[in-house]
Structure 1
Amino acid sequence: MIIASWQSVLTFALLLFLLLPLGRLPQGYRLSVLFALLLVALVPLSTGLTLAGLLRGLTDDLATTTLIWLVIAVSIRLGYVQSMSATEKWPLWLGFGLLGLVLYPAAMGVGMFDTYRWGYHPRLLVMVVGILTLAFLLARAYVGILMLALASLAYLLDLKPSNNYWDYLLDPFLVIYCLGALVLQTVRILRRRARPMQPAV
């Protein structure tokens, strides 16, 4: 049996936990479900892969930032952490969305620079992350600071198979989520402003 990495096991359990309709269950039962999903992730298939390994084959390893965001989302659902408002999420959506726009178009050949290479010798990328961290600090987006700090620590400790800093900071799922959330929230704001004011009775 091929043993799935700790990250793929955790990713499988966290994603499935967030997808299951567990809102009405007591906190203790929800926590039990999470532990059960960690065990389910290790169930071997006839191919020799575990369920977590199968998911990893479809999605590859998620970025450290995405994994941290999933942990925070699960902590919120378990009642250990207070839910974030859209106002608190805006800096995160904007920051990681902009990082994605720096990385992915260039990585796909759009433009003159291959920004993915920055991750192999990340002096410039470290400066970019430092500026983003400062922006998060000014916006009081402490979750974003935590995500960047832990992703950087994971890179220094070489916790992923990749030696590219970008792979710790971003993945397509995080970027799509952030850009999609920005678009949806912008549309909602524009719709609210476009509504005619109701005359006072």
Structure 2
Amino acid sequence: MFPPANDLIALLGINLVLSAGCLRLLNWRHGVTPWGKWASAAVFLLLWCPVGPARLPLVAYVRGISSDLSISLVAIACLGMYRRLRGMAPVAQHERMVLSLAFAAGALFLYPLALGWGDWDAYRLGWGSPALWAALLALSLACWAGGLRLLPMLVALALLAWVAGALESTNLWDYLIDPWLAVAAIFQCIKSAIVWGLARLRAARHGAMPSSA
């Protein structure tokens, strides 16, 4: 007997994210190698192996720790894995930066309020709020007008999955963002800010140095 479809989708999403992470980790320095491809494929298959008294797949135990991942995170992981396997260039830096800023801002807006750091719970917006839909539409149109395609596509994919009930949750926020994606986005923003600050500092120092005669 097969589990419900949303359970299968959730397990598949977790497996794909872990496999994509394995591929990136193993091929971080020297590009994608045949060994890295086989190792990532082995991880994908291994996570489906039933273990324990309940004979649940290994990825189900991972799900118990990670909870369901957002459609956005799964899509980003799959895109990165596809581009690596095809030998394509990474997503443009400005696209990645906009993604990180958008998800970091969403996390800082959602999670503190959802944890009770205020009198209003932003998580409620995920249950069919026109205000959230309007904000997502405005953000997507602004990105599209600026030549940024990835964020609007992620929003559209999350909305389609939410309408279809692809995950166990009925809240749109859970399709758009999850804590793992939030942490990664905030970390990326901090990292970019540090790199930018160091670059400006080095440029200022070089500019202040007297030119040699």
TM tier relative to shorter chain: 0.7 to 0.9
Q: Distance in 1 between matches of 2:151 and 2:16?
A: 20
Deviations 1:43-74 (A, max 9, x none): 11124221211111110110000001101111
Question: What are the residue-to-residue correspondences of 1:11-50 with 2, within 5 Å?
Answer: 11-21=17-27, 24=30, 30-47=36-53, 48-50=55-57
Please state if 1:176 is matched with 2:176.
Answer: no
Q: Distance in 1 between matches of 2:198 and 2:36?
A: 37
Deviations 1:160-191 (A, max 9, x none): 11110000001011111111111111111111
Compared CA separation, residues 122 and 45, structure 1 to 2 (3 A): same
TM-score for the superposition, normalised by structure 1: 0.87
Please state if 1:93 is matched with 2:100.
Answer: yes
Which piece of structure 1 moves more, 148-157 or 120-129? 120-129
Please state if 1:70 is matched with 2:77.
Answer: yes
TM-score for the superposition, normalised by structure 2: 0.83
Which piece of structure 1 moves more, 29-38 or 148-157? 29-38
Compared CA separation, residues 200 and 72, structure 1 to 2 (3 A): farther
Q: Distance in 1 between matches of 2:17 and 2:201?
A: 41
Q: Kindly provide the amino acid, as one letter, of the partner of residue 96 in structure 2.
A: K
Q: CA deviation at 1:140?
A: 2.2
Q: CA deviation at 1:80?
A: 4.8
Which piece of structure 1 moves more, 117-126 or 133-142? 133-142
Q: Kindly provide the amino acid, as one letter, of the partner of residue 69 in structure 1.
A: I
Compared CA separation, residues 134 and 26, structure 1 to 2 (3 A): closer
Q: CA deviation at 1:21?
A: 3.8
Q: Kindly provide the amino acid, as one letter, of the partner of residue 21 in structure 2.
A: L
Identity %: 25
Which piece of structure 1 moves more, 179-188 or 31-40? 31-40
Q: Distance in 2 between matches of 1:22 and 1:187?
A: 21
Q: CA RMSD in A?
A: 2.4
Instruction: Please say which structure displays the higher CA radius of gyration.
Output: 2
Count of matched residue pairs? 201
Q: Which runs of 5+ in 2 are unaligned?
A: none
Please state if 1:121 is matched with 2:137.
Answer: no
Compared CA separation, residues 72 and 26, structure 1 to 2 (3 A): closer
Compared CA separation, residues 62 and 26, structure 1 to 2 (3 A): closer
Q: Distance in 2 between matches of 1:185 and 1:131?
A: 26
Compared CA separation, residues 152 and 88, structure 1 to 2 (3 A): same
Q: CA deviation at 1:22?
A: 7.1
Which piece of structure 1 moves more, 54-63 or 136-145? 136-145
Compared CA separation, residues 77 and 168, structure 1 to 2 (3 A): same
Q: What corresponds to 1:56 in structure 2?
A: 63
Q: Distance in 2 between matches of 1:34 and 1:16?
A: 6
Q: Distance in 1 between matches of 2:59 and 2:190?
A: 32
